Amino acid sequence: MVQTSRLPPLNALRAFEAAARLESFARAADELAVTPGAISQQIRQLEEHVGAPLFVRQGRGLSLTEAGRAAAGVTSEAFETLERAVSLMRQPVHRRALTVSVAPSFAGKWLAPRLFRFQEEVPGVEVWIAATSERVDLAAGAADLGIRYGPGGDMTLNEEALLAEEVLPVCSPDLLRDGPALARAQDLRGQTLLHDASPETEVDGADWASWLKARNVRGVDVAGGVRFNQSALVIDAAVAGRGVALAKRALVQNDLASGRLVALFADGTTPVRSAYHIVTARNRPLSPDAQAFIAWLKAEARVHEHSVDEL
CA–CA distance, 281 with 284 (Å, rounded to integer): 6
Counts for the chain of helices (H) and strands (E), in that order: 12, 11
Task: Output the CA–CA distances (angstroms, integers) from residue 108 to 114, 283, 310, in the order listed.
Answer: 10, 29, 23
**How many of the other CB atoms lie within 10 Å of CB of 251?**
23
The pLDDT value recorded for residue 202 is: 63
**Range 283-286 contact pairs with CB under 8 angstroms and sequence separation of 24 or more:** 283/139, 284/138, 284/139, 284/141, 286/144, 286/145
- Distance CA(148)–CA(171), nearest Å, equals 26
CA–CA distance from 127 to each of 34, 99, 289 (Å)?
43, 6, 10
145-150 and 270-281 strand pairing: antiparallel
Burial class (CB in 10 A: 0-12, 13-18, 19+), 247: buried
Pairing of strands 145-150, 125-131: unpaired
Residue 143 CB neighbour total at 10 angstroms: 22
Rounded Cα distance, 196 and 189, in Å: 18
Query: In angstroms, what CA-CA distances link 136 with 36, 106, 144, 274, 294?
Result: 60, 16, 10, 19, 18
The answer to whether the CB of 296 falls within 8 A of the CB of 118 is yes
Per-residue pLDDT of the chain in tens (311 residues, 90 and over written 9): 444 457 888 999 999 999 999 988 889 999 999 998 999 999 999 999 999 999 998 777 788 999 999 999 899 988 888 887 776 666 554 557 899 999 999 999 999 999 999 999 998 899 999 998 888 899 998 999 999 999 888 899 999 999 999 999 999 999 988 888 899 999 999 899 999 988 766 667 689 999 999 999 999 999 999 999 999 999 999 999 999 999 999 999 999 999 999 999 988 999 998 999 999 999 989 999 999 999 999 999 999 887 776 65
Query: DSSP 3-state assignment of 226?
Result: strand
One-letter amino acid at 215 equals R
SS3 2: coil
Q: How far apart are the first and last CA of the chain?
A: 86
Which of left, alpha, beta for 95 (phi over 0: left; psi -120 to 50: alpha)?
A: beta
161 Cβ contact partners less than 8 Å away, ≥ 6 residues apart: 152, 275, 276, 277, 278
